[in-house]
Structure 1
Amino acid sequence: MEANVSQDERDEVDDIVAQWTRERPDLDAAAIGVFGRITRLNAAQRAVLRQVHERHGLTLASFDVLANLRRSGAPHRKTAGELAESSLLTSGGITFRLDKMEADGLIRRTRSKEDRRVVYAELTELGLGKIDAVFADHLATEQAMLGLLDAHEQAMLASLLRRLSASVASFQAEPLVESD
């Protein structure tokens, strides 16, 4: 158990660490305290945001594509390859997702005027309105989930997670990609 954690603050991860420490006292199970919580937080956060996105008629993957296009700035367009590089989907997953989003009127595909082989996915007015509405709800929900942390604690946590991400990335041979 971590130092200075009251009985009221203990969680299931503390119990798991204590069990491993009891069963394998020769090993340091402290890393479970970090990675166990990150795993649980990710699952919980995704479940909450899935509900937010579903209220707006989107999946997590569709939200990711719309957000990716929106934050790219006008004219809010990228190729499927560019979307795959900066999203949570594989290139095959992007193609499937774009087909669905095009059918729903959220994006349109346009060919490059300079190179007709290049096809862009571009936000439609409907898609732009949808991502602006859902993103406001998404961000408000994330802020509410961080509500127990003050601004200093949030900045400290972000800094620590950035450092941890760099450390974990040094162990990865290839980026992990998840499709929804």
Structure 2
Amino acid sequence: MSTPDAVHGADGTAAPGAEAVAAAGADEVDLIVAAWRREAPQLDVEPLEVLSRVARLARHLDRLRRGAFSAHGLETWEFDVLAALRRAGSPHELSPGQLLVETLVTSGTMTNRVDRLATRGLAERRPDPDDRRGVRVRLTPAGAAVVDAAMADLVRAEHRMLDVLPREERRALATLLRRVSAPFEQGS
């Protein structure tokens, strides 16, 4: 029998109301799902239980990353470009086209970004030895130092964020998220 603070969901099972969910130590998504089940019991809102948490976690992660980067005087886009150059391996340079692929921006945007990084002394343009008309963008020693420091801070912060899960659960979560995101990544 249903209590006054419970309703039946689309699957016929009792869905607790907000008061019962909050009393059980639930999170905001549990409250949202309970409200939708109460207000629109004909909808199967099960995807919200996963994807709303992913969306909220993405917002928290974005703030965490921006904090790690700003501590080193970097914007997120600056970190993205410098990190792509750093990951390229010695001599830590890429063509503008390769940077476009790595950072998913337009060529006009990339030109502006490289200009700004060069002005700050974090990257430099060099002639492409294989193409007289081409250029390569190279990470400077100052750029390497700042991106390495920002990355170290980011990884420490992300470890703290994931410390609530044992290593085995982190691996399982990574596997599940890879499966969900794979169809989107293949289209990139």
TM-score, normalised via structure 2 length: 0.83
Select the structure with the greater relative contact order (CA < 8 A; seq sep ≥ 6): 1
The alpha carbon displacement at 1:167 in A equals: 4.2
Counterpart in 2 of 1:55? 71
1:131 to 110, 125, 147: 147
> How many Å apart are 1:125 and its aligned residue?
0.9
Distance 1:86 1:108, change over 3 A: same
Judging by fraction of residues, say which structure has more strand: 2
Q: Distance in 2 between matches of 1:80 and 1:61?
A: 15
Is the 1:61–1:88 contact (alpha carbons within 8 Å) kept by the matching residues of 2?
A: no
Q: Which runs of 5+ in 2 are unaligned?
A: 1-14
Partner residue in 2 for 1:93: 109
Q: Which has the larger radius of gyration?
A: 2
Structure 1: distance between partners of 2:183 and 2:44: 19
Corresponding residue for 1:30?
Answer: 46
After TM superposition, the runs of 4+ consecutive aligned structure 1 residues lying more than 3 A away are: 167-170
Q: Is the 8 A contact 1:64 1:88 kept in 2?
A: no
Q: Tell me the secondary structure at the aligned position of residue 57 of structure 1.
A: coil
1:64-122 per-position Cα deviation (integer Å, ceiling 9, x unaligned): 11111111100111112211112253333222211111000000001112212221110
Q: For residue 28 of structure 1, what is the amino acid of its counterpart?
A: D
1:21 equivalent to 2:34? Answer: no
Structure 1, unmatched stretches of 5+, are 176-180
Task: Give the letter aligned to residue 48 of structure 2.
Answer: I
TM-score, normalised to structure 1, is 0.87
Superposed counterparts of 1:117-128, under 5 Å: 117-128=133-144
**Matches of 2:184 and 2:88, distance apart in 1:** 27
